[in-house]
Structure 1
Amino acid sequence: MDDLHWISTFLDAQAAELGAAQNTQMAYARDLRDFADWSARKNIGFGEVTQDTIEDYLIFCDAQGLAQSTRARRLSAIKQLYRFAFDEGWRSDNPAIRIKGPGRAKRLPKTLDVPEVDRLLDAARSTGRTTADKLRNTCLMELLYATGMRVTELMSLPVSAARGEPRMLLVMGKGGKERMVPLSPPARTALATWLGTRDDLEESARAKGQPASKFLFPSRGKLGHLTRHWFYQLIKDLAVTGGVSPDKVTPHTLRHAFATHLLANGADLRAIQTLLGHADVATTEIYTHVLDERLRELVTEHHPLARDAKRKSGGSTSSDGQ
């Protein structure tokens, strides 16, 4: 087999056996093709790759100035490819098994405070060319903040999940795993309002000979529903309208806000793990660090003793000169 056949067979297996999401498969494909291109320039096929080959490739990636997280992801893709190749009998050894990668930098996720979320929600209610657009945008934002869904999960929600005025939604997560997420009263109201408008729009489309959509947020594009790229642009526009720094706002920021706000109000970490669909509670624990950091910032900025210490060290405060 040539290298591209290795990659395509591996990706097919990932999709079939593990239910790997399309975005995950695309990332694997990009990383493995880059490794294949580099190996080809060295006249080395995947079947002849050694541990030294992989380590040389990682040095090359470092020299290219790639981020630590990118290098770690590429090594992960290579490791999974060769684990699969060994299991399938394509190789009698696994040249990647002893390689330790650069790891991932532990950066705290960006999040938003409650007033910033409120401004985004207000902006959604007034953003759109038509009333239907505004109702849809409001529903999107209310659902995202109320449930902590990943944006891909939100975009691909089937309309059947919203029927019957549900108090919870059934969400299809990573790896085809289902979970239930509760709806807040504002989210339920926004959902019911959008659903009525959506059905009216779909009825008009059917009258013109267009096929019915199975999605809650339909689109006439190839996927049949709104895309994560479309939503990324929408949320940036909402940030500008709402007076929130666009640099702080991405679709995933609302997921982080959902988790940190729950934790700040006493929610159990295991419950948050279940709601977010994390396989390991260690992934959810990052939000405890986010909360600790925010508490430290509050103390530093507002506690009188902290302000006094800052003034004595030569810093300035808002009360200086008063």
Structure 2
Amino acid sequence: MDYLTLNFINYLANDKELSKNTIECYNRDVNQFENYLKQKDINNLRDVNKTVIITYLLHIQNTGKSNSTISRNLASLRTFYQYLLNNGIIKNDPTLDLKSPKQEKKLPGILSTDEVAHLLDQPNIKTPKGIRDKAMLELLYASGIRVSELIALNVSDVNLKLGFITCSKNTSKARVIPIGKLSITALNTYLTKHRNYFLNNKDEDSLFLNHYGNRLSRQGFWKIVKFYAQKAEINKKITPQTLRHSFAVHLLQNGADLKSIQEMLGHSDISTTQVYTQLNNVRIKEIYQKAHPRA
């Protein structure tokens, strides 16, 4: 079996041109499976059936591996057996119709309202860059939009007079999202006084610009958030999505209905939005345990 694994790895490297790390994962998963087969005195891949695969996956589970690790192993074996099938080495694929275990949904991290305020106070509003960054962070928290949607915004998508933005990125139809006074103030300062600092082409409509006068990239915004998160010294992992999640939970805590939050976030399925009710329940429990004298 070892030579088949070697041929398979060469196929992944030369024909599929996968990355080194991905190939190493496939190699490790398949080698681990082959070692299991040897322990069970199975020396021919043609003797492997669906039962053997299921038993192997249960074996991995019993060693304490997570569902994501089990799913990855199954994916590696699927690719391996498809390779063997396509090359006429086996006649039937034993991984066919096997379903991966359900992934545990991790609750997204959120910030408290005080932590959000502290983070949003970090940009130096005495500089054009700080004023731009302040406007971006305020808008992200005020609207709950995705990072890709934030950087895709144009000046023409912003209506400060009526207090809303029009967001159409990644959706089949545009969403009109209200924004609050603090966000409006920050955007107004940026647009009327400091956007020209970054502007190289007067016809450029991108809302947020980098130092070259081009639309700010996703990577650029991630670096900005990382910089201010470190500066704020908040002992939590903070990403651009953290502000989106915090936006949703804070609305829920203050009485907003789930359907409205779904529409503002642009979720096609309300079940995606319902995860925030779990976060809200966790938050309520934490508050109870800290505040109740007999908790």
**Which residue does 1:116 correspond to in 2?**
115
Give 1:176 shift.
4.7
**Which residue does 1:297 correspond to in 2?**
286
Matches within 5 A, 1:68-107: 68-69=67-68, 98-107=97-106
Q: List alignment gaps of at least 5 residues for structure 2.
A: 1-10, 32-48, 79-92
**Is the alpha carbon distance of 1:186 and 1:292 closer, same or farther for their aligned partners in structure 2, counting shifts above 3 Å?**
same
Amino acid at match of 1:305: R
Matches within 5 A, 1:180-259: 180-201=176-197, 205-206=200-201, 212-219=203-210, 224-245=214-235, 247-259=236-248
**Which residue does 2:3 correspond to in 1?**
none
| TM-score after normalising by structure 1 | 0.62
- Percent identity at matched positions? 33
Give the whole-Å Cα distance in 2 for the aligned partners of 1:193 and 1:75: 53
| TM-score after normalising by structure 2 | 0.67
**Is the alpha carbon distance of 1:264 and 1:161 closer, same or farther for their aligned partners in structure 2, counting shifts above 3 Å?**
same
Give the whole-Å Cα distance in 2 for the aligned partners of 1:294 and 1:162: 33
Give the whole-Å Cα distance in 1 for the aligned partners of 2:74 and 2:203: 43
1:172 matched to 2:168? The reply is yes
- For 1:156-177, what per-residue CA distance to the aligned partner results, in whole angstroms no more than 9, with x for missing partners? 2122212564522111243554
Structure 1 ranges of 4+ moved more than 4 A: 65-76, 94-97
Matches within 5 A, 1:32-181: 68-69=67-68, 98-124=97-123, 126=124, 131-162=127-158, 165-181=161-177
Give 1:180 shift.
1.7
Give the whole-Å Cα distance in 1 for the aligned partners of 2:229 and 2:150: 19
Give 1:95 shift.
9.3
Is the CA contact 2:160–2:188 (under 8 Å) kept in the aligned structure 1?
no
Give 1:113 shift.
0.5
Give the whole-Å Cα distance in 2 for the aligned partners of 1:171 and 1:283: 19
Name which of structure 1's ranges 286-295 and 169-178 shifts more when overlaid on structure 2: 169-178
Cα root mean square deviation, aligned: 4.2
**Which residue does 2:252 correspond to in 1?**
263
Give the whole-Å Cα distance in 1 for the aligned partners of 2:149 and 2:232: 25
Q: List alignment gaps of at least 5 residues for structure 1.
A: 8-28, 43-50, 80-93, 307-322
Is the CA contact 2:120–2:134 (under 8 Å) kept in the aligned structure 1?
yes
Q: Secondary structure at the match of 1:153?
A: helix
Q: Flag the structure with higher helix content.
A: 1
Give the whole-Å Cα distance in 1 for the aligned partners of 2:113 and 2:244: 13
Q: Secondary structure at the match of 1:174?
A: coil
Name which of structure 1's ranges 272-281 and 230-239 shifts more when overlaid on structure 2: 230-239
Bigger Rg, which one: 2
**Is the alpha carbon distance of 1:297 and 1:152 closer, same or farther for their aligned partners in structure 2, counting shifts above 3 Å?**
same
Amino acid at match of 2:193: T
Give the whole-Å Cα distance in 2 for the aligned partners of 1:250 and 1:144: 12
Give 1:184 shift.
0.7
- For 1:8-46, what per-residue CA distance to the aligned partner results, in whole angstroms no more than 9, with x for missing partners? xxxxxxxxxxxxxxxxxxxxx98xx869x87xx99xxxx
